[in-house]
Amino acid sequence: MADCTPGPRLGYNLPMARTDKYAARLAVALLACSPGWAFQASGVDTAVSILPRLRPAVSTSQTLLPKPDIRVDSSLVLVPAQVTNVLGAPVTDLRKQDFQVFEDGVEQPISDFSREDAPLSVGFLFDISGSMRDKIKKATEAADAFFKTSNPQDEFFLIEFSDRPKLKVPFTSDPNDIYDEISRARPFGRTALLDAIHLGMVTMKQARNSRKALVIVSDGGDNRSRHSEREIKNEVLESDLQVYAMGIFDLDGTSKLSSEERNGPKLLTDLADESGGREYPVASLNDLPAISARIGNQLRNQYLLGYSPLNGARDGKYRIIQVRVSRQADAPNLRVYYRHGYYSPGF
């Protein structure tokens, strides 16, 4: 039996013959290993027989079919909107035809409309910096008042922040988990508000409900964060959540405050307005529980307006949204709170 194992140069373990004496042996060995092949050896011509591998037949119908390239794209913009009267109370009896939605100045047909109390995903951002030491009791009462407005289908998480933010309670359906943690808080350090908002938006990506909100309780501006104000504002614009804030600011002592603390009210107001939420400056600590309960009720008395943009371009550009209520004639001074825009999807 010829040895057909590969060799270092010729591919088989045969002597490297260079004389006519061994050429015939080489030809015989190769023919034994590869009977379908023949070649010239020692001057003898042998016929070559190469049988190509046949390809499977392809039907005519297969050749005419294009390569599958199915792309499913559903484009629906959902705009939560809250309407209040001149006293700030929610207006809950509006109909679909009472609203107009504009995108970049062009009116959009409203295809989806609802005003039911849908489940919420809420991130509670609680300031435990050193300046909250004398305010922590009332702030804890405010949290309790907010959670009393919750429904069994709601979910919550808690982020406490001072020098840095920390996710203390991941998503839970039991608000007592949040309240118990807050009641044990011990204020210290400085205020990393922007970092806390960033962590809140990252955590919110795990939410199971479509309606999402961050509720912030803080007594000052940011003086510790690594993220900039511009970065956080851009993140809020790109997100699908609302920001509500209770700002416990010492407005009487403005001259003694740092620039970061003086900028605190404007920062929270800007973030809330852009997201369609609201910022409530707290003039008295005794008002905190009532304001917190009001925020909870407002989150549950919203309209959800949906439309498919007439501009279907996927250009990644920012689109400006305007929402109007047409019942101003018979109910003047209505105020509408809504997200001011969104980034269209890119390619």
Instruction: Tell me the per-residue pLDDT of 215-236, one tens digit each, with 9 for 90 and over.
Output: 999 987 899 999 999 999 999 9
The Cα 324–Cα 13 span in angstroms is 88
The mean pLDDT of 201-217, rounded to a whole number, is: 96
Q: 146: pLDDT confidence band, cut at 50, 70 and 90?
A: very high
Question: Is 165 in a helix, a strand, or coil?
Answer: strand
Per-residue pLDDT reduced to its tens digit, 5-50: 444 444 444 444 444 444 445 444 444 444 443 334 444 444 444 4
Residues 6 or more apart whose Cβ sits within 8 Å of residue 54: none
Question: Which CATH code for domain 120-300?
Answer: 3.40.50.410
The Cα 172–Cα 154 span in angstroms is 9
Per-residue pLDDT reduced to its tens digit, 307-326: 999 999 999 999 999 999 98
Picking from 189, 267, 266, 196, the residue whose alpha carbon sits closest to that of residue 226 is 196
Per-residue pLDDT reduced to its tens digit, 267-286: 999 999 989 999 999 989 99
pTM of the predicted model as reported, rounded to 2 decimal places: 0.75
The Cα 32–Cα 83 span in angstroms is 92
Instruction: Tell me the two tokens of residue 136.
Output: 């922590």
Q: Which residue has the higher pLDDT, 221 or 157?
A: 157
Instruction: Tell me the two tokens of residue 298.
Output: 């407002």
> Residue 66 above 50 pLDDT?
no
- Phi first, then psi, for residue 201 (nearest 5°) are -70, -35
Per-residue pLDDT reduced to its tens digit, 239-272: 989 999 999 987 665 556 667 777 888 899 999 9
Picking from 235, 162, 238, the residue whose alpha carbon sits closest to that of residue 193 is 162
- Phi first, then psi, for residue 188 (nearest 5°) are -165, 160
CB atoms inside a 10 Å sphere around CB 21: 9
The mean pLDDT of 159-178, rounded to a whole number, is: 97
pLDDT of residue 83: 94
pLDDT of residue 116: 78
Per-residue pLDDT reduced to its tens digit, 91-129: 999 999 999 999 999 999 999 999 878 899 999 999 999
pLDDT of residue 74: 56
Q: Which residue has the higher pLDDT, 173 or 22?
A: 173
Spans of all domains in the chain: 1-49, 77-114+305-343, 120-300
The mean pLDDT of 78-88, rounded to a whole number, is: 91
How does the average pLDDT of the chain come out, rounded?
82
Q: What percent of the chain has pLDDT over 70?
A: 75
